[in-house]
Chain A
């Protein structure tokens, strides 16, 4: 701890760097979930309302795997192994759910009137959420407390191990997705379908299969986010998909919906707005926003963006208006 003349300044540096790390943590989760919204929107021009629930199911899958493999008794090198298994299992469960949902609830409605797929998606969301609430008796579940505690300092930042793991694995997933989209044949197909489904189909791209892949990839990201959320916050419940879902959507809109780098940028922007931004607002005279107003900040941001700049703040090209 360096010796500083003005103790309140040292305190406030620590305070702000904490807020920064918090913003980075929640921002990573928002970014991961936002990727699913933005990819589906990119190809289908629809908001996948059930995406928050896909995230929730991933979190529960991770919980199930961790508990089945020993729960709180896991220790040593097994911690790394079980967490890896949980991440992969959650990705599989989320991706499988999304693929089934696409087949049953979205594909038959691809050419239906505008409101139909939207209502169907809301139906799926309600169905999945209450299915889990019913199975868990609406009680919270607690992730096994196996992640090593502790933190280290990097310059003015104090980062716990779990935060490091969360941020690093989120970034790794984003790079993974980027490589798939930019460097593989499937990625090229996805980009082609997003550009123009009819033309892509004429070029020999299997549009239905590509759309399923978009859902699967987005859901896998959400599944990872679900496990990371569980490891970090520990408490999970059937209704947990709603708020992160709506906020990740905000993040996707913030970055320009349909754009993958935009979703990542939007996720982090929203993460910072909720933590650093709220504290900055609290610096203003007469403002005292408690933690519970975080959600209001996110919603107000959503409305403001949608009204004044529906293409998002980082949009490269103008997409059609909201």
Chain B
């Protein structure tokens, strides 16, 4: 036992396990009373990526199938809602949000099975590259089949949900809506993990052949993982499209897949707290960097920029003009959150794999697995 884990066990362990989540959720539910505007919008996106992360976690974390095309299911959900509710849709259906929500989830799930069927015999890296291709094909489809998706022009005025005369419109409404969705998905995911199905996934993840030999139906459980992961991706897509109100193919690039995969892996594969922390750090923080308040705050550091640029200018005398200068301090946040974000994600993925492969907040079982080398996992070590 390493000392850090013991420490964790004693401090967090004082709170009865059953009380931790309700307490945490109660605190989260109070956030709209403390924060406003852009902060709540930021938290909506954090919530959205928690939902997506929980879904991908089923595929990657539980079943060990590395899916790099998760954006495909997100797009399937978003476009289901867009096509069926947008007045600009080529089909002009104008359906109700609540009717499309289950449909979108179902359509995404069938995409999951559609992807799952051909890749069933594949493992590890081959699976990763095929799913990558699948995500790309979906995007090509969105751009090129204008008769179905309205092409790069996009779909606007997508339906928003309402209950009776109450419309879900403000950031705060959406915050609670995504919170409820995340809690439902999280609850289902954790129940699945601890069920017979979860154990079957785990067996497949550890060794497919042994699992099959022990009577685990590989085909059934792999497809189930794909379908469940995909339906959650679809749910995320429906919610996103409704929140944003406008979608076009540019929003469904590989970057979404990278975001979600980074959330799951950096947070800790198979771990729900990991997904939450991952979303806060990888999705929430870059958005905070874009706030005007952040820019105002950073503008106080103009002196630091002058100093650093002085050093750069000194270094630049070797080959004059070869090194660029830092932009205005108030721009730093935006600079960092743009493409730079992905540079950091990439480096983080490598660093996490090399230094802490179980992720920031590891699931108990995964941690044992990574620490144990080839020694047997101690009996009763499962969370």
| A interface residue numbers (CB < 8 A to B) | 46-47, 49, 104-105, 108-109, 112-120, 122-131, 133-134, 138, 242, 246, 249, 253, 290, 292-293, 295-296, 299, 302-303, 306-307, 310, 321-322
Closest residue of B by beta carbon distance from A107: B354
Q: Is the CB of A133 within 8 A of B130?
A: no
Q: Is the CB of A306 within 8 A of B122?
A: yes
Docked CA distance A36–B61 (Å): 30
Closest residue of A by beta carbon distance from B349: A123
What is the distance, in angstroms, from A263's C-beta to the closest C-beta of chain B?
15
| B 98-127 binary contact with A (CB < 8 Å = 1; else 0) | 000000000000000000001101111110
- Cβ-defined partner of A113 (8 Å) among B130, B254, B349, B369: B369
Docked CA distance A114–B68 (Å): 16
Q: If the complex has contacts A120-B353, A292-B144, are A130 and B129 also in contact, measured as CB distance less than 8 A?
A: no
Q: Which residues of B lie under 8 Å from residue A46 when comparing CB positions?
A: 125
| B 46-80 binary contact with A (CB < 8 Å = 1; else 0) | 00000000000000000010101000000000000
Docked CA distance A290–B31 (Å): 51
Q: If the complex has contacts A299-B137, A303-B118, A307-B121, are A109 and B353 also in contact, measured as CB distance less than 8 A?
A: yes
- Cβ-defined partner of A295 (8 Å) among B128, B140, B354, B370: B140
Q: Which residues of B lie under 8 Å from residue A127 when comparing CB positions?
A: 342-343, 345-347, 349-350
**Interface SS of A by simple majority:** helix
Task: Offer 11 A-B interface pairs, CB within 8 angstroms, sorted by A.
Answer: A104-B354, A109-B354, A112-B357, A113-B357, A113-B369, A119-B265, A120-B350, A122-B349, A126-B345, A134-B340, A302-B129
Q: Is B136 at the interface (CB under 8 A from chain A)?
A: yes
Q: Is the CB of A133 within 8 A of B339?
A: yes
Q: If the complex has contacts A115-B64, A123-B349, are A292 and B342 also in contact, measured as CB distance less than 8 A?
A: no
Q: Which residues of B lie under 8 Å from residue A125 when comparing CB positions?
A: 346
Q: Is the CB of A130 within 8 A of B144?
A: no
Q: Which residues of A lie under 8 Å from residue B342 when comparing CB positions?
A: 126-127, 129-130
What is the distance, in angstroms, from A44's C-beta to the closest C-beta of chain B?
11
Q: Is B197 at the interface (CB under 8 A from chain A)?
A: no
Q: If the complex has contacts A118-B124, A322-B126, are A124 and B144 also in contact, measured as CB distance less than 8 A?
A: no
| B interface residue numbers (CB < 8 A to A) | 64, 66, 68, 118-119, 121-126, 128-130, 132-134, 136-137, 140, 143-144, 254, 258, 261, 265, 338-340, 342-343, 345-350, 353-354, 357, 369-370
Q: Is the CB of A130 within 8 A of B339?
A: yes
Q: Which residues of A lie under 8 Å from residue B345 when comparing CB positions?
A: 123, 126-127
Q: Which residues of B lie under 8 Å from residue A124 when comparing CB positions?
A: 346, 350
Docked CA distance A291–B307 (Å): 52
Closest residue of A by beta carbon distance from B342: A130
Docked CA distance A239–B3 (Å): 44
Q: Is the CB of A105 within 8 A of B137?
A: no
Closest residue of A by beta carbon distance from B353: A120
Q: Is the CB of B134 within 8 A of A299?
A: yes
Q: Is the CB of A130 within 8 A of B346?
A: yes
Docked CA distance A246–B136 (Å): 11
Q: Is the CB of A105 within 8 A of B350?
A: yes
Q: Which residues of A lie under 8 Å from residue B354 when comparing CB positions?
A: 104-105, 108-109, 120
Closest residue of B by beta carbon distance from A136: B339
Q: If the complex has contacts A125-B346, A126-B346, are A119 and B353 also in contact, measured as CB distance less than 8 A?
A: yes
Q: Which residues of A lie under 8 Å from residue B119 when comparing CB positions?
A: 303, 306-307
Q: Which residues of A lie under 8 Å from residue B64 when comparing CB positions?
A: 115
Q: Which residues of A lie under 8 Å from residue B125 when comparing CB positions?
A: 46-47, 118
Closest residue of B by beta carbon distance from A298: B133
Q: Which residues of B lie under 8 Å from residue A129 when comparing CB positions?
A: 342, 346
Docked CA distance A66–B136 (Å): 33
Q: Is the CB of B133 within 8 A of A104?
A: no
- Cβ-defined partner of A128 (8 Å) among B133, B261, B346: B346
Docked CA distance A127–B350 (Å): 9
A-B pairs with the 9 shortest C-beta distances? A123-B349, A127-B346, A126-B346, A130-B342, A299-B133, A123-B350, A120-B353, A47-B125, A322-B126
Q: Which residues of B lie under 8 Å from residue A104 when comparing CB positions?
A: 350, 354
Q: Which residues of B lie under 8 Å from residue A295 when comparing CB positions?
A: 136-137, 140
Q: Which residues of A lie under 8 Å from residue B340 when comparing CB positions?
A: 130, 134
Q: Is the CB of A117 within 8 A of B353?
A: yes
Besides A115-B66, A295-B136, A306-B122, 19 more A-B contacts (Cβ < 8 Å) are A47-B126, A105-B354, A123-B348, A123-B353, A126-B346, A127-B343, A127-B346, A127-B347, A129-B346, A130-B342, A133-B339, A134-B339, A249-B129, A253-B126, A299-B137, A302-B129, A303-B133, A306-B119, A310-B126
